[in-house]
Chains A and B, each alone.
Chain A
């Protein structure tokens, strides 16, 4: 019930292409869905997040699409750049009930070729 499933495990995209990473969750009580970007040797950095009352959120080249009925959400990176090469994690939390407790997906290693 607490799991978040993320796919693909790895992704290779050409510069300028669109990177798409998908996540699915089981617990319908989750009400906050952030995405984190992690570079080697660094901690995860908050990229963008969404609440279930909206179906899409865009910040620059990054867009989250959210499908509440399917219990799925995805990260789209438009015009992917070599500097976007990193590991991306989706996560979910239950807000008030579980405080800051985040349940993470397994991670996606993104490589953007020049």
Chain B
């Protein structure tokens, strides 16, 4: 079974621009969660989508948004990029059956200049 895939793997954007990242979950997994990983803040939860609905949201500004499609694929968008948004963005998929084991993709490395 193929793992979680994320595209693109690397991205360089300029401050003020917006960016869209994509995630395809493991086949059969209907829950997708997004995390931001930085050296200073570690791994922080952004949001979770299940059945095309946002189920949980972390403590991030409204510039961070996401959506999920009927095939469970998910996208996250960051508008008006700031230098501090430079991070590894990780997507994790889950069956959303307790205990909600999550499997991570390789991440998208976003650099904002």
B94 is an interface residue with CB less than 8 A from chain A? yes
Contacts of A44 in B (CB 8 A): 43, 90, 104
Selected interface stretch from B13-21, B50-58, B62-70: B50-58
Q: A99 with B99: in contact, given A43-B107, A104-B42 (CB under 8 Å)?
A: no
Contacts of B96 in A (CB 8 A): 99-100
Name B's interface SS.
strand
Across the interface, B55 reaches (CB within 8 A) one of A34, A43, A45, A99, namely A99
CB of B56 within 8 A of CB of A100, answer: yes
CB of A100 within 8 A of CB of B33, answer: yes
Contacts of A68 in B (CB 8 A): none
Q: A100 with B102: in contact, given A89-B43, A107-B42 (CB under 8 Å)?
A: yes
Across the interface, B101 reaches (CB within 8 A) one of A31, A34, A101, namely A34
Number of residues of chain B lying within 8 A (CB) of chain A:
27
CB of B45 within 8 A of CB of A99, answer: no
Name A's interface SS.
loop
How far is it, in angstroms, between the C-alpha of A34 and the C-alpha of B104 when the chains are bound? 13
B92 is an interface residue with CB less than 8 A from chain A? yes
Across the interface, A45 reaches (CB within 8 A) one of B44, B56, B104, namely B104
Q: A99 with B100: in contact, given A89-B43, A107-B42 (CB under 8 Å)?
A: yes
B4 is an interface residue with CB less than 8 A from chain A? yes
A3–chain B nearest beta-carbon distance, Å: 11
B45–chain A nearest beta-carbon distance, Å: 5
B28-52 vs A: 1/0 string, CB under 8 Å?
A: 0001010100000011110010100
The chain B residue with its CB closest to the CB of A45 is B104
How far is it, in angstroms, between the C-alpha of A107 and the C-alpha of B92 when the chains are bound? 18
CB of B99 within 8 A of CB of A49, answer: yes
CB of B98 within 8 A of CB of A102, answer: no
A→B interface (CB under 8 Å): 31-32, 34, 36, 41-46, 49, 51, 89, 91, 93, 95-96, 98-107
